Amino acid sequence: MSQPLDCKLLTRIQLAEILGVSLPTVDRRCREGALPFIRLGPRQIRFLPADVEGMLSRLRVGQHPGQGMVSQ
């Protein structure tokens, strides 16, 4: 992520850009329950930056010193 997340709510498009993924990926993660969201109306959802950071923390690999991805 090039910009730090702040406290304003994020749209699906903004979140997809921040994460570098497609809108269908954002939608799938929501359906799976892996990405919490706020429903503002029947067709409007938003995301709290803190929830996104929490999801990323759970997905992070190699949090301990000496672990992580191995370059080839």
Q: Would you write out the chain's pLDDT as a tens digit for each of its 72 residues? A: 445 555 799 999 999 999 999 999 999 999 999 899 999 999 999 999 999 988 888 888 875 655 555 555
Question: What one-letter code names the amino acid at 31?
Answer: R
Beta strands 38-41 and 44-46 are antiparallel
Q: What is the C-alpha to C-alpha distance for residues 66 and 30, in angstroms, rounded to an integer?
A: 32
Relative orientation angle of helices 12-19 and 23-32, to the nearest 10 degrees: 100
- Residue 39: count other Cβ atoms within 10 Å of its Cβ: 9
Query: What pLDDT score was predicted for residue 1?
Result: 47
pTM over 0.85: no
